Amino acid sequence: MTVTVGKDTAQTRKTLTVGDQSVAYYSIDAATKAGLGDFSKLPAALKVVLENMLRFEDGKTVTTDDIKAFAKWAEQGGKNPIEIAYRPARVLMQDFTGVPAVVDLAAMRDGIVALGGDAQQINPLNPVDLVIDHSVMIDEFGNPRAFQMNVDREYERNMERYQFLKWGQNAFNNFRVVPPGTGICHQVNLEYLAQTVWTDTDQNGEMIAYPDTLVGTDSHTTMVNGLAVLGWGVGGIEAEAAMLGQPISMLIPEVVGFKLTGAMTEGTTATDLVLRVVEMLRKKGVVNKFVEFYGPGLDHLPLADRATIGNMAPEYGATCGYFPIDDETLKYLRLTGRDEDRIALVEAYAKENGFWRGADYAPTYTDTLELDMGTVVPAISGPKRPQDHIDLDKAGSAFGEYVKGVRAGKDVTKNAEVRWEGEGGQPEPRDIPGDEGHHQRGYVATDDGNYQIHDGSIVIASITSCTNTSNPYVMIGAGLVARKARSLGLTRKPWVKTSLAPGSQVVTEYLEAAGLQEDLDALDFNLVGYGCTTCIGNSGPLDPAISKAINDYDVIGVSVLSGNRNFEGRISPDVRANYLASPPLVVAYSLVGDMNVDITKDPLGQDKDGNDVFLKDIWPSQKEIADLVEQTVTRAAFQSKYADVFKGDERWQAVEVTDSETYNWPPQSTYVQNPPYFRDMSKDAGTIHNIKDAKVLAVLGDMVTTDHISPAGSFKESSPAGKYLNEHQVPVREFNSYGSRRGNHEVMMRGTFANIRIRNEMLDGVEGGYTKGPDGQQTSIFDAAMAYEEQGTPLVIFAGEQYGAGSSRDWAAKGTALLGVKAVIAENFERIHRSNLVGMGVIPFEFTGGDTRKTLGLTGEETVSIDGLDTIKPLEVVKAHITMADGSTKDIDIKCRIDTAIEIEYIEHGGVLHYVLRDLAKAS
C-alpha cells in the first residue's frame, strides 16, 4: 500500500489519462506553479527524489521546506546538503544478504512479542522480492552434467536456508521469493521486476503513478538505473527498516553529470567502456554522489550497455549511475515483454512530468566530466581493484611489474630447484615472456596431463556476474569467439577452470537459438548454474594437484572473470591476482592460459595446420554480433522464461515448511540461529556513552573492503569459524561458505576480519585475521575480541582511506559490533558501510587536519578515549585522547560521521532495528 498524504502539496496532485487508463500523479510543474520553487533545471535523477517528497509531504517527516530545498539546490550550483526522509517504492534482496535480513525480521517478531506487542506488527509495508542467486558453487565444470550436478549440490548444502526463506515467504506479507536456478537478482530486476513507472492504490483506493524506485541489499542494485529506475544498495539493516516503514535518512546529494559523446569503435565492448568509466569516476571522486549520464552518445548506447555502467556504480564509488527515460528505455521494456499499457504509461508520464531525455535535455549538475566513446580501447582491470584499468596491449607487461612488486624483498628462488617427478618424465621449463628471474614455477600432474604452473598461469576463466551476463552483445560476442576458436581447432589450456554462469535463463535461450552454446561447450564453457558463482567467490575448488602446486611453490595464480569485483582473497583462496574482462576476452584468455602473454600480439595457439592463431583471427565484428542479437534475443523468449518466475522447479516446490507467525528456531542448525540483538531489550532507549580506555583491535590500511571485513567465500578448518563447525560435528566438505552461513551469527562473528589477505598493521607482514590479544601475543581477531570482552574492555579500529568499499555487506557492520568494537576511526568511509555501522550502533569517525594512522605513528599498542559523545550532534568534531605505548599522549580532533539527527537516535537505541522495534512496541 502506497501511503500518499500530501498535506500542503494536494494542489500538485493531477490526473494523467493514457489510452483507457487514468491515474493520479504528483506534478513537478504544478509544484513550481504553486510557488514551491523552480525545479526545471534539476537532473532527472533528483526529480525522482523530489517527486517522493511531494508524494509523502506530511508537514512532519517531510515538509514544504524540504521540497523548496531542491529549488535552492539548483540555485546554489548543485549543492544543498540538507537532510531529507526518502521512501523507496520497494526492496530487492539476494539470499546471502536476504537470509540475515529475514533472520532479523523473525527475531524482531520474537522481540515485539516479548515487549507486549503483536507479531503481525513485523511485516514489510512495501513489496520485497528476494532472488536466490548467491548459493550455487562451481563444483563441476567442463561437462554436460555440470549444471545438474551443481544444482543438486546446492540443494544438499542449503536446504536449511531454503526452508527458512520459504517459511518467510509464507509468514510475511509483501514478501516474494524467486527460487534457485532462475537468475541473478539484478538481471531478474532489470528484465522483469522493474517497471520504470510504478502504480499502486493510495489510501483512498485511487490508482497513482510514480517513479519506480528501490533499495537493495546488494551493492549492484544500481544496475537498474540503466532502465531509469532509481535504486542503490543499502545494508540489510537499513533495508529492513525501509521495509518496516522507516524512511531512509539522507542528504540531498550532489549530482555529477557524465557526458557521453561519439560511439564505440570496432573491437571494443561495453566492458571496455565501463572499465574506463570506473577509472575516470574513481579519479574524479563521486562517493555519496549521484552520477547521471547524458549527452548525444546515449543515442548510440543500447540499454544493456547502460545497465552495465549502472551496475558498476559501487566500483566507481557513486550512490548510483542513472540514465534518464528515453526511446531506448521504451525499446527495452518492449523487448523484455513488459505490458504495452505500462510502456505507454512510462512514455506519457515521463514526458508529462519532466523525466524525459529529449534533444533539449540540459539540467544543472554539481560538476561534469566527458568521455568520447570513440577513444575507448580494449582493456582489463586488475589485479585487485576494479579501478586498476589496464589497456589490453599492456596487460602482460603490467602483470610482470606486479609480480616484481610481490616478490620484492622475498627469496624468489626458494623453490626454484623443486621439480615434478613421476611417470612420463620431467617437463622442461618453458620460457615465460618477460621473465627476469622473478617468477615462481612448479610442476603438476593431473588427469589432463603434466604441465608447468608458474606466476601468471590463468587457473580460472569464468563468464559470470550480473554486470556482463545481462548484456547480449558481449555474451553473443563470447559465443562467436568460441565458434571461431573451435573451427580453428583451439581449446582451453588444461590448467584453466572454465565456467559459464548466465544471469538469467533468457541468456541460455538465445545462446542456444544462435547455436553458440554448442561452441562454448566445445571449449568447456558449459553451463554451471544461474547465479553469481565466481564473482561472489563461489568459484569452487581447483584441481587438487593445481592447488597443491600453487601453494607448495608459492605461485601467483590468476583468474580472469567477466565480473565486477576482483578484491584480494575474493575469487579463490588459491588465486592472488584477479582480472576483470569482457566475456569474449575471458574465452580468449582461456585459450592462452597465461597472463604474461601480450594477447593482442602473441599467438593464442596453433590451428589444425600448425599456423599461429591471433586474437584478431577469432574476434567477431560488431555487425556479426548485432545481427545475431537481432535474430535471437526476442520478446517471446523473455515472456516465456518469466511466465512462472516464482514457481521454481520440482525441488523448490518440494521444500516443506511449517505455517507459523514466529519461527521455531532449530537449536541444532548451523545455518540459522536466533541472533542476540533483541534479547532482554528494554522498552526505552539508552544514552550515548563516551568511550573510555578502549584498546585497538586492528590497524588497517587503505581500501579495506567489506570483503576484507566479512568475506563471503570458503574458509579453512583451522579458522575460528571452521573450529566452531567442527565442534558442531559439521565435516569440512559441508562447511559451504561464509556467505551461505550469514543466518548464523556464531559463524559470522568468527569470520569478521578473517579474509586470508587482510593485513593488520599491528603485526609485521602477517596476512589473515590476526591481531595481538590482551597478553600481547598473536592470536585470531575473534579470540582477542572475546578475551577483551571478558575484561569489559571496549575496542576501536583504525583504518585508512575508502574504508568499507565494495559490497553492501551488513555483516561487515554486524560482526564489528558483535566483536565489541565501539568506534572505527578512518580517513574516510564508503557510503553503505558508514550507514551500516551506524545502523548497528558503532560510531564511525574520520581523522581531520591531515592526521592519519601513519602520521600519528599508531602501532595498535595505544589506548583510546573519546569525549563529547553524550552531547554529540551530527558531523560534530570531538576530541580523541590517545595514550601511546610509552605513556605519552596525543589529543586529536576527529569528525563524527553520525550524519543526521535521526542517526543519533539510532545510536542511542543501539541500532536502527532497536529504534524501529521500540517504536512499534510503543504504538501497540
pLDDT tens-digit profile of 602-635?
Answer: 999 999 999 999 999 999 999 999 999 999 999 9
Of the candidate ranges 401-415, 475-489, 600-614, 825-839, the one whose mean pLDDT is the lowest: 401-415
Helices (H) and strands (E) in the chain, counts: 31, 34
User: Which stretch of 57-71, 129-143, 434-448 has the lowest confidence by average pLDDT?
Assistant: 434-448
* Reported confidence tier of residue 590, pLDDT bands at 50, 70, 90: very high
Average of pLDDT values for 286-290? 93
Between CA 281 and CA 284 the distance in angstroms is 5
Q: Check: CB of residue 754 under 8 Å from CB of residue 768.
A: yes
pLDDT tens-digit series, residues 370-406: 999 999 999 999 999 988 999 999 999 999 999 988 8
Average pLDDT estimate for 833-847: 95
Mean pLDDT highest for which of 125-139, 337-351, 423-437, 534-548? Answer: 337-351
What percentage of the chain has pLDDT greater than the value 90? 76
pLDDT of residue 828 exceeding 80, the answer is yes
- Tell me the H-state helices in 244-302: 270-284
Predicted confidence band of residue 418 (pLDDT cuts 50, 70, 90): very low
Cell of 145: 552434467
CATH architecture of 691-923: Alpha-Beta Barrel (3.20)
**Confidence bin at 721 (pLDDT 50/70/90):** very high
What pLDDT is recorded for position 492?
95
Residues of the chain with CATH 3.30.499.10: 90-375, 381-633
Cis peptide before 383 (omega within 30 of 0): yes
* Residue 7, pLDDT score: 62
Written as nine digits, the cell of 823 is: 568506534
Q: What is the pTM of this model?
A: 0.85
For residues 475 and 483, the answer to whether their CB atoms sit within 8 Å is: no
pLDDT band at 563 (very low <50, low <70, confident <90, very high): confident
Cα torsion angle, 182, 183, 185, 191, sign: negative
**Which is more confident, 413 or 201?**
201
**Residue 431 confidence (pLDDT):** 44
Residue 882, pLDDT score:
98
Rg of the chain on CA atoms, in Å: 27
Q: What is the CATH number of domain 90-375?
A: 3.30.499.10
What's residue 425's pLDDT? 36
Nine-digit cell at 116? 507486549
771: left (phi > 0), else alpha (psi -120 to 50), else beta?
Answer: beta
Q: What pLDDT shows up at residue 439?
A: 63
Q: Do 822 and 794 meet the contact criterion of CB atoms below 8 Å apart?
A: yes
Total residues belonging to the chain: 924
Report in angstroms the alpha-carbon separations of 82 from 111, 287, 739.
34, 17, 36
The β-bridge partners of 535 are none
d(CA 305, CA 474): 9
Fold annotation for 381-633: Aconitase; domain 3 (3.30.499)
Distance (Å, rounded) from C-alpha 685 to C-alpha 143?
58
pLDDT above 80: residue 551? yes
130 DSSP β-pair partners: 93, 177
| Euclidean distance between CA atoms 383 and 577, whole angstroms | 5
Eight-state DSSP code of residue 336:
T
- Residue-wise pLDDT for 771-780, tens only, equals 999 999 999 9
Q: How do 778-780 and 21-26 pair as beta strands?
A: unpaired
Please give the pLDDT value at position 831: 83
User: In a 10 Å sphere around its CB, with 0-12 CB exposed, 13-18 middle and 19+ buried, how is residue 113 labelled?
Assistant: middle
Q: What are phi and psi of 668, to 5 degrees?
A: -85, -5
What is residue 264's three-state secondary structure?
coil
Angstrom distance (rounded) from CA 556 to CA 538: 19
Residue range 889-921, pLDDT digits in tens: 999 999 999 998 889 999 999 998 999 899 888
Q: Indicate the angle between helix axes 622-632 and 472-487, nearest 10 degrees.
A: 110
The pLDDT of residue 440: 67
How many C-beta atoms surround the C-beta of residue 428 within 10 A?
Answer: 6
Q: Indicate the average pLDDT of the chain.
A: 91
| Residue at grid coordinates 512499534 | 920
